Structure 1
Amino acid sequence: MRNIEIKARITNYDNICKIAEELSGGPPTVIVQDDTFYRVNSGRLKMRFYADSSATLVRYDRDDEGGPKLSDYDLVQFPTAEKEKAKQLDEILRKCLGPRGRVIKERKLYMVGQTRVHIDSVQDLGQFMELEVVLRPEQTVDEGRAIARDLQTKLQVQDKDLIECAYVDLLDK
């Protein structure tokens, strides 16, 4: 699976939430996420636990660069009924790979067409906006970048506020 991402610090949380709600046509879905990142040789690997005890194992590759960037990713879902399996896998990955870091956040999710607009409050970091333009199989990277840039403009996010890396990398600094 592929998407085009933009991530940025935000300076006016209430304003960007208002614009995102207008663009999406409705209120957000609020999601609490607790991510453990593991030490890996390439890309990133994390186990994401949700408030309802469900979980998702996420593997992704994405260049650390400003502006819209391609992310290639794989997901393994663990519904609430399989929460013990997710916990067991998390323990195995911690033992084998070692934990790299932990990111806890409250995410407001707004859907705008094929784009997931996230307004995140990240523990120990602050507030951010992330766009994920989920590419359809026939779509090019350039098409996804154009959609992302258009939404960046509509959300009034300045290029100077863009960040190149993942939240876990910011916590490392």
Structure 2
Amino acid sequence: MRNVEIKARITDYDKICNVAEDLSGGPATVIIQDDTFYHVNSGRLKMRFYGDSSATLVRYDREDTPEAKQSDYDLVQFSVRDSEKARDLDNILRKCLGAKGRVVKERKLYMVGQTRIHIDAVQDLGHFMELEVVLRPEQTVEEGRAIARDLQIKLGIKNEDLIDCAYVDLLGQKIKSN
């Protein structure tokens, strides 16, 4: 699976939520996420637990650049009934690979066509916006970039607010600088 995404810092949380709600035509779905990232040789690997105890193992690979970029990813879903299996797998991955970091956030999800707009309140980091243009098989990365740029403009996100890495990397940088 693949998408095109951008991520940015935001300064006016309420304003961007209102714009995203207007663009999507409805209120956000609020999702609580608790991600543990593991040390891996390439890409990123994380176990994401949700507020209802379900989980998703996510492997993804993307360039660390601020502009819209392709992300290739794989998912393994764990239902609430399988939450113990997800916890067991998380423990095994922590023992074998080690935990790189943990990201806890409240995510507001808005859908605009094939694009997920995420407005995130990240514990110990602040507020961010992420666009994920889910590409159809026949779509090019450039088409996805055009969709992302259009929504970036509509949301009022400036290029200087774009970030080039994952939240776990920003948290790691924050810890090193303290």
Classify the TM-score, shorter chain. Answer: over 0.9
Query: Shift of the alpha carbon at 1:66?
Result: 1.1
Aligned length: 173
TM-score normalized by structure 1? Answer: 1.00
Query: Shift of the alpha carbon at 1:140?
Result: 0.1
Q: Which residue of 2 aligns with 1:30?
A: 30
In 2, the alpha carbon distance for the partners of 1:51 and 1:14 equals: 23
Instruction: Note if 1:83 corresponds to 2:57.
Output: no
In 1, the alpha carbon distance for the partners of 2:129 and 2:7 equals: 6
In 1, the alpha carbon distance for the partners of 2:112 and 2:168 equals: 26
Instruction: Quote the RMSD (CA, aligned, Å).
Output: 0.3
Instruction: Note if 1:9 corresponds to 2:9.
Output: yes
In the TM superposition, 1:18-167 aligns within 5 A as: 18-167=18-167
In 1, the alpha carbon distance for the partners of 2:161 and 2:17 equals: 17
In 2, the alpha carbon distance for the partners of 1:11 and 1:100 equals: 28
| Superposition misfits of 4+ residues, deviation over 6 angstroms | none
Query: Shift of the alpha carbon at 1:118?
Result: 0.1
In 2, the alpha carbon distance for the partners of 1:109 and 1:160 equals: 23
Query: Shift of the alpha carbon at 1:124?
Result: 0.3
In 2, the alpha carbon distance for the partners of 1:43 and 1:133 equals: 19
Q: Which runs of 5+ in 2 are unaligned?
A: 174-178
Q: Which runs of 5+ in 1 are unaligned?
A: none
TM-score normalized by structure 2? Answer: 0.97
Q: Secondary structure at the match of 1:11?
A: coil
